[in-house]
Copies of this chain bind each other. A is one copy, B any other.
Amino acid sequence: MNDRKQHVIKKAHQLFIEKGFQATSIQDILDFSGISKGTFYKYFSSKSELLIAIYKTTFKQLQKERNDLLIGKSPSDIEIFIKQVEMQMISNRKNKLIALYEEVMSTNDADLKHYIRFTRLRSLRWMFSRFIDIFGEKNKPYLLDCAIMFQGIMQHNLQYNRLATDSNEKISSVVRYSVSRLVKLVEEVAEADEQLHPPELLEKWLPGLQKNNHELIDRFYKIVNPMRNCIPKHFQDKNAQEKYHELLDFIQEEIMHTRAPRKFLIESALQTLQNNPADIWKKELLQLNQIINAFFQQLEENEEEEH
């Protein structure tokens, strides 16, 4: 993306954090970022679209950090989840995302509203899938409810905590407190066998999300991380271990952070992984292949849009 455009996004975000979305006029943004009105409307078709661009960049950042916390760790480890939530809450507060969400819901802009709704549902879906990691498939019927309630608990606890003590240091303890409640809540609701929202609703709310970019990245991590974790178990040779780590690193780096990933190199790496002497990862590599294909397909579609 254009450097200058990125600069405008940054400056505008700064203004939105300080003054709010509505209270910041386009003129303010022009003055603060030192561009002209013409350029602004060349980059963004409206103020709303600028806001969406801000969301997208901050979300990308958050997603990367969130997934990096999982590398080499067990997805069922609740301490990792706590770290992830904590990181997310700090990011939310720093970027005033919640306030901006709420502000947006009161605009007339249907697209913007739709995007926010989508974002929140995606966040809910992430939490749901993490809950399955942590609390197991057997609790699945209750975990959508738990995700909904946990988000409510977190949000309200943080909100009033902010009113009580205006420091950011306490976020950690609020998260720990809320997660403690969550653990008992899951137990309790499974015991009582009460369900308010069946998890199938998520697919109704987010149809065709499998093809979405962010979703693909999350699924990618979900497969690659366990593969990483079981390398030491299957290969005693230090060199072999390093080799497979390098291969996975390479694929991840190429997919995540390269504008134009080199398809053949990735395929070659996948082939090498497949030929491992321990003959493991058959299922994983199949899924990985699917994801990477979907990823390239999506990349092509994006290019078509640009021309």
A residues sitting closer than 8 Å to B (CB atoms) are 20-23, 99, 102-103, 105-108, 124, 145, 148-149, 151-157, 160-161, 163-164, 173-174, 177, 180-181, 184-185, 188-189, 192, 194, 196-197, 201, 205
Contacts and interface: CB of A to CB of B under 8 A. Distances in A.
Contacts of A151: 152, 156
Contact of A20 (B102, B108, B154): B108
A163 B202 CA distance: 11
B192 A188 contact: no
A161 B197 CA distance: 7
A180 B21 CA distance: 39
Nearest to A21: B106
21 contacts: A20-B108, A21-B106, A22-B22, A23-B108, A102-B105, A102-B106, A124-B160, A148-B157, A149-B153, A149-B156, A149-B157, A151-B156, A152-B153, A152-B157, A160-B201, A163-B205, A173-B196, A181-B185, A181-B188, A184-B192, A188-B188
Secondary structure call for the A interface: helix
Given A99-B106, A102-B102, A177 B157 contact: no
A230 to B, nearest CB: 36
Residue in A105, A189, A196 whose Cβ sees the most chain B Cβ within 10 Å: A196
Contacts of A22: 22, 106-108
Contacts of A106: 20-22, 99, 102-103, 106
A145 B157 CA distance: 8
Contacts of A156: 148-149, 151-152, 155
**Which 7 A-B residue pairings sit nearest by Cβ, starting from the closest?**
A152-B156, A152-B152, A103-B106, A102-B102, A184-B188, A149-B153, A148-B156
B180 A194 contact: yes
Contacts of A161: 196-197
